[in-house]
Amino acid sequence: MNKIINLSVKSEENNQRVDVFISKKENLISRTRIKNLILKNKLKLNNRVIVNPSKKVSTGDKLVLEIPEPKKTSLKPYDFKLDIIYEDENLLIINKPAGIIMHPGAGNYDKTIVNALMHYCGGNLSNIGDELRPGIIHRIDKDTSGLIVIAKNNATHENLSTQFNKHTITRVYQLLVWGKLRPQSGCIKTLIKRSSKNRQLMEASQFKGKIAVTNYKTLEVFENEKIPTLSLVECRLETGRTHQIRVHMSYKGNNILGDKKYRKKFKKFKNIDADLERTILKLNRQFLHAKTLGFTHPVNGKVIEFSSFLPQELENILKRLRKLNK
């Protein structure tokens, strides 16, 4: 059965965005979900359907929000061994390998992390979001590895979604980029929008898009006559925009090693170590790993943090670089 929420706007609540107003009143529902419900014609303002989440409310306005009953998924389970770092009755922490996408989409409907979760968890996943994404609160790219949190129930999903929306989640990535970042540590703050040249890509902008903030620091620099200049970098996200780190590194002119979408063309180096060159050319993913994930547990309120090691294919590159850099 659908749930109906009735709200009235008081004088002190005047002139707020309607999605912000509702999220403050109903703090168990994430603002992202409220936006999606509005876009799906589930909100009436003074008996008229509205589809603009940014519309401002006025004193005395009457709102009726309809929350549909969650749909049961018909996704096909996929027998894929998940690398589970932590699990309790409310959530899972998974160390995702590169090469597998998060959820079904065009061209791949049955060999994804979601399908693997269906095999492992059965029906014990949150189901308040997209019916093709049960349990999914956030995503990392197909060719990125690292930690993700999965919600087993709707209350956990809402709580963690709110933490992501408030930017209180700790997310730290390690990456290897071409060249040296200048300065070697700092903060990149731009807007990010869909590329006007290629709709599959994103791009940094100073005038249009969503705010994106990446804090970075250089951990190591590799540079000599047998090594093209490369830097091992740590990025700490304040926001989580699509392709954010990849876009920001490209914006700085320091593309991520192995990134096929935001890449500088790999050129031949005269004296590069042959083994290193072969290893780089053989890499079939980007050197980007979601290393650390931390948040407040939705049930017990404790702050918890998880870390993972670099996958072997990335560690092998670092070992070779460190040996040559001596």
Domain spanning 84-165: which CATH class is it, in words? alpha beta
**Residue ranges for the chain with pLDDT beneath 50:** none
Tell me the pTM: 0.83
Considering the domain delimited by 170-324, tell me its CATH architecture.
2-Layer Sandwich (3.30)
Taking Cα atoms as reference points, which of 128, 190, 117, 126 lies closest to residue 152? 126
Side chain identity at residue 318, one-letter code: L
The two three-digit tokens of residue 96, written as one number: 């995702």
Answer left, alpha or beta for residue 44, where phi above 0 means left and psi between -120 and 50 means alpha: beta
**Domain coordinates of the chain in residue numbers?**
3-67, 84-165, 170-324
pLDDT tens profile 234-247: 999 999 999 999 99
For 259-283, write each residue's pLDDT tens digit.
989 976 556 667 788 899 888 888 9
Query: Which residues are CB-contacts of 98 (< 8 A; sequence separation ≥ 6)?
Result: 142, 143, 144, 145, 285, 286, 311
Q: Which pLDDT score, from 0 to 100, does residue 27 have?
A: 67
Residue 41 makes CB contacts below 8 A (sequence gap 6+) with 49, 51
Q: Is 259 a catalytic residue?
A: no
Exactly one of 61, 83, 88, 141 is catalytic; which is it? 141
Per the CATH hierarchy, to which homologous superfamily does domain 3-67 belong? RNA-binding S4 domain (3.10.290.10)
Comparing 84-165 with 170-324, is the CATH topology the same?
Answer: yes
Instruction: Tell me the DSSP string of 236-281.
Output: EESS--TTHHHHHHHHHT-PBTT-SSS-PPP---TT--HHHHHHHH
